[in-house]
Amino acid sequence: MKKTLLATAVVGLLSISSAHAATVVGFKVGADYWLADTTNSFNDADGVAHSFSDDSSQGSVWIAVEHPFPFVPNVKIRENRLESSAGLDNVDFTFNGHAFEGEVSVTNELNNTDFVLYYEILDNDLVSVDLGAAYKKMNGSLRVADAGHPEQIDIDSGIFMGYASAQVGMAGLGLFGFADVLFGVDESNVYDYGLGLGWQFDNLAVDTLVRVGYRDFNFDVSDFSDVSQNTQFKGAFAGVELRF
């Protein structure tokens, strides 16, 4: 009889534990559409800066996993697809060992992936605050081409960054304000922040968040992957996030 009671209790505890774990381990997936104004400046072989601007759409997608283990950080991975291009007239410079004259096209790809580890400092219905660290892995290139000869330098180094995120809600309305910030540690002139407003629609299985706001990514580096440049993407964005 005692063995039967003990077995029943163990099974019950395991069932409760399993059900509880399903509610405290959460997943977030989302995507943003970003209409950014872009300013670019890059240096040629003599250190002379050449500038151009562009207006184009950019995008980001992400996934995050949050869990109940207190000393293990949560994980977020965000992929950012960023590109700007334009034509330059009457140039006379050397880039990547090749002399360019006349008309050229320039394409600056700054695709990157954010690997974020963070802790939830506050997490309630009104205020949530996350703090952590990130590594922004660049996966882009700077390409200069004339009618017959393209030159490209890959931008593939990484940047260690601090991370902070906050959300403040209004009880009963589903409306909230938010801010997400990445700031460079080893590259102090690199930052990536977004802020805005959102609306949350709760559901038994999935919560849906609709967000609108402003984002600014500044990439001001010297001799980073053998390239010196000052590029900024900034403008309005809209997106959606699903929380399971």
Least confident window among 15-29, 152-166, 230-244: 15-29
Alpha helices in the chain (DSSP H): 2-24
Mean model confidence pLDDT for the chain: 91
- pLDDT band per the 50, 70, 90 thresholds, residue 171: confident
* Alpha carbon distance 192, 39 (integer Å): 15
pLDDT value of residue 125? 81
Residue 205 pLDDT class (50, 70, 90 cuts):
confident
% the chain with pLDDT above 70: 91
CA 120 to chain centre: 18
Under 8 Å between Cβ of 187 and 206 = no
Q: Over 50: is that where the pLDDT of 113 sits? A: yes
Q: Check residue 11 and give its pLDDT.
A: 38
Residues in contact with 120: Cβ distance below 8 Å, sequence separation at least 6, in sequence order: 66, 74, 128, 129, 130
Structure confidence at residue 128 (pLDDT): 96
Domains parsed from the chain with CATH numbers = 25-243 (2.40.128.90)
Q: Which of 217, 214, 243 has its CA nearest to residue 23?
A: 243
CB-facing half-sphere around the CA of 110: CA atoms within 13 A: 25
Query: Which string of b and e fits 36-61 if b means at least 16 CB within 10 Å?
Result: bebebbbbbeeeeebebebeeebebe
Strands ordered across the beta sheet of 83-95? 83-95, 98-109, 140-145, 150-155
CA atoms within 13 A on the CB side of 56: 16
pLDDT digits (tens, 9 = 90+) for 54-108: 999 999 999 999 999 989 999 999 999 999 999 999 999 999 999 999 999 999 9
Q: What pLDDT is attached to residue 55?
A: 93
pLDDT in tens, 126-141: 999 999 999 999 999 9
Identify the pLDDT of residue 10: 36
What's the distance, CA 174 to chain centroid?
Answer: 24
